[in-house]
Structure 1
Amino acid sequence: MGSINPQGDTRRGAEIVGGGMGEGPGPDIMAAATLDGNKVMSSDGEHVGKISDIMLDVRNGRIAYAVLSEGGFLGMGSTLHAIPWSALTLDTDEKCFIVDITAQRLKDDPGFDKDHWPTMADAKWGESTYSYYNRQPYWSATHDVVESDPAIRPSEH
């Protein structure tokens, strides 16, 4: 009891699969810019877009979202989607990300355009975004651990 199953823990970072261990920093620690432009595949094997930005939660020192650019030509007219970092798997063999959602479900997410970004620090927006990708928001993880662990939480008696 108390051990965490990495596959079942939706509050972690992105998983890494493949044998692509090269020289230098990757793949466990990488410059965010090296991931920009990486293609993204859906869980059902469709190419759904590319990573256009990686959004940092500056106060908490975490990656909050990867922004997927879907469609469009050279960035014009493309729909952007904020994807929780924990909903992605980096495949080092294929040099791409796999998002844990079907292509149709991604397309059904209205997303946003480059001139109208959502307020990503808004908790309600963040919770609904994480929920859409079946992930628990990373910012609620610490609260839940304290609430559910009798060794940490003082007894009510």
Structure 2
Amino acid sequence: MSTYDPKGASGSGAQIVGGGVGEGPGPEIMAAATLDGDKVITADGEHVGKVSDIMLDVRSGRIAYAVLSEGGFLGMGTTLHAIPWTALTLDTAEKCFRVDITAQRIKDDPGFDKDHWPSMADVSWGMRLHEYYNRQPYWSEMPGTTRGAVEPRRDMQGL
């Protein structure tokens, strides 16, 4: 198991804590659908919503963001928030995600609604979002690459 690293410096994905291990795959490799609906708990212990989507950067093959669904009823009045994947910690014991910012900070983020998503491929939007969560953009963690221009590893070519 990984240890909790609030700055995400030890890896390029979500951290994992807790002793919860079930049958089958996980927690290191899991189907994204098994994480949909997991609650998100802030640094001050508040349940602020649930993961509604996990967004994949198709070109790099990396998870870019989790989308937090906050408030609303039956999809009405729901505010969505993109959270950088590296800002999350999967707590396997509690079966939730933890984010190391306060609930008020998430509520202060205007977010978006289901009919007006931001352009998540926009680098300036991504930079602002990662800065908000005090994280390095996931695409800058691979030396010598830029977003959308990830080269295959030499030891993996031909597989």
- What TM-score does the superposition give when structure 2 sets the normalisation length? 0.84
Given that 1:40 and 1:51 are in contact with CA atoms closer than 8 Å, whether structure 2 keeps it comes out as yes
Structure-2 residue corresponding to 1:38: 38
Q: What runs of 5+ residues in structure 1 fail to find an aligned partner?
A: 146-157
Give, in whole Å, the separation in 2 of the partners of 1:87 and 1:22: 24
Give, in whole Å, the separation in 2 of the partners of 1:45 and 1:65: 21
Given that 2:66 and 2:83 are in contact with CA atoms closer than 8 Å, whether structure 1 keeps it comes out as yes
Mapping of 1:54-65 within 5 angstroms?
54-65=54-65
Structure-2 residue corresponding to 1:79: 79
Secondary structure in structure 1 of the residue aligned to 2:141: helix
Mapping of 1:125-136 within 5 angstroms?
125-136=125-136
Structure-2 residue corresponding to 1:15: 15
Q: What runs of 5+ residues in structure 2 fail to find an aligned partner?
A: 146-159
Give, in whole Å, the separation in 1 of the partners of 2:88 and 2:80: 16
TM-aligned CA distance change 1:60 to 1:111, over 3 Å: same
Secondary structure in structure 1 of the residue aligned to 2:52: strand
Structure-1 residue corresponding to 2:48: 48
Let me know the Cα RMSD of the aligned residues: 1.8
Q: How many residues align?
A: 141
Q: Which of structures 1 and 2 has the bigger CA Rg?
A: 1
**Partner amino acid, structure 1, of 2:31:** A
1:70 aligns with 2:70: yes
Structure-1 residue corresponding to 2:108: 108
- What TM-score does the superposition give when structure 1 sets the normalisation length? 0.85
Structure-2 residue corresponding to 1:155: none
| Bigger Cα displacement from structure 2, 110-119 vs 133-142 | 133-142
Give, in whole Å, the separation in 1 of the partners of 2:41 and 2:4: 21
Point out 4+ residue stretches in structure 1 off by more than 4 angstroms: none
